[in-house]
Amino acid sequence: MTAIALGLRQNLAQSLLMVCPTLLAAIAASTAASGFAVAVRMRRSDHRRY
Digit-coded pLDDT (tens) for 26-49: 999 999 999 999 999 888 887 666
Mean pLDDT computed over every residue of the chain: 87
pLDDT number for residue 45: 81
pLDDT number for residue 42: 86
CA 11/CA 27 separation, integer angstroms: 24
Question: pTM of the entire structure?
Answer: 0.51
pLDDT number for residue 16: 85
- Does residue 10 carry a pLDDT above 60? yes
**Residues contacting 1, CB < 8 A, separation 6+:** none
